Amino acid sequence: MSKSFGLEILHVDKKTGARYGILHTPHGDVETPMFMPVGTNATLKMLSPEQVAACGSGVVLANTYHLHIRPGAEIVKKAGGLHKFMNYHGPILTDSGGFQVFSLASRRKITEDGATFRNEIDGGKEFFSPEVAIGIQEALGADIIMSFDECIPYPASREYVARSTERTYRWAKRGLEAKTRDDQALFGIVQGGAYPDLRRHAAEQLAALPFEGYSIGGTSIGEPKDVCFQMVRDAIAPLPQDKPRYLMGVGSIDYLLEGVMLGVDMFDCVLPTRLARHGALLTRHGRLNIQRKEYEEDFTPIEADCDCYTCQHYTKAYLRHLYKVGEGFGQTLNSIHNIRFLIRLMEEAREAIKNDVFAEFKEKIYADFNDPRGF
């Protein structure tokens, strides 16, 4: 078990079951539910660690697969681990590399031993197994690490999902046995596709193992929203109440709020920074496309009530100018706003939970959001 790690549930919303708590980690305590910004290559694109922290971040993510390819986990280890390497002083989470292997479907082969594939940088042959994934993550030194799993595509046959999910369970046990560091918390990943009984069975199996948290994987990969939310319900039901629950790869407003209502504590996604680089800004009333000519002489902030650095100091006219002339500073300012937007949404969600009004809060957010493209 990891030292200095655990989830303390402080309040459960009486109407919805949404949870408010404190996640204790070796690099500090953070409130839940929370949105975790993603720094794939040990950096959030266009942002310094200080800028990320100023947005109110708690846990940030780094990517096991990409850091294994470049610069290599041993270099990060020699630098003193991820916290020193990327100069981020709060908690860090690394994924297992399973999703990246999934995304390389045309170049991979999965067996009981692990996954063999060719990386997209130089075509070099790679092999990931539960033991390899744990070893890389131990070298990287994150506070929270993930079991190696197969991210199951959607749709997939019941036979395939059942076979893959059982293998992921066996891999989870191997990962637990391979783990040697007691200052890192290892999460199991619940798979099971869109089959309710397989999801519940997978969660029950993992809940019986001594993981310090549980992730819900294989969602938000193309399935309809109602299917995604049902997969989350099926996965959460058997999981321990006193351990954190992490819904992987989710960052849109509706997925965050529905996840919170279902009892999820942690979320991550590249969405806010990816949108920012393309001039799309998150607001309570829908996405704002800063490229539009209507903002050429708009000398107001993105949102009048936003407390982010961008909204406090710059106007839409200036952000449009930066986008049009291709200045990277514009992408930085856009990213600051989008990251802060989602972190602030979770701050407000926590206050709503503490006051037993989360359902009303969620409906107010939905009512204000009038973007016809959806969330």
- Which positions are annotated as active-site residues? 95, 268
What distance in Å separates the CA atoms of residue 282 and residue 100, rounded to the nearest whole number? 27
What distance in Å separates the CA atoms of residue 7 and residue 23, rounded to the nearest whole number? 4
Q: Number of H helices and number of E strands within the chain?
A: 15, 16
Residue environment code for 57-85, b if the CB has 16+ CB neighbours within 10 A, otherwise e: bbbbbbbbbbbbbeeebeebbeeebbbeb
Cis peptide before 71 (omega within 30 of 0): yes
* Residue 231, C-beta contacts closer than 8 angstroms, at least 6 positions apart: 192, 193, 194, 199, 216, 218, 219, 223
Which two tokens mark 300? 């107001």
CA torsion, ordered 146, 5, 262, 55, to nearest 10 deg: -90
- The vertex-207 CA angle with 201 and 211, nearest 5°, equals 140
Q: Write down how long the chain is.
A: 375
- The vertex-216 CA angle with 88 and 226, nearest 5°, equals 120
Instruction: Identify the three-state secondary structure at position 320.
Output: helix
Longest distance between any two alpha carbons in the chain, whole Å: 61
What distance in Å separates the CA atoms of residue 168 and residue 98, rounded to the nearest whole number? 10
Q: At what angle do helices 130-140 and 158-178 cross, to 10 degrees?
A: 50
What distance in Å separates the CA atoms of residue 21 and residue 4, rounded to the nearest whole number? 15
Which two tokens mark 285? 């009333």
Please count the other Cβ atoms lying within 10 Å of the Cβ belonging to residue 206.
25
Residue 286 sits at φ, ψ, to 5 deg, of: 125, 175
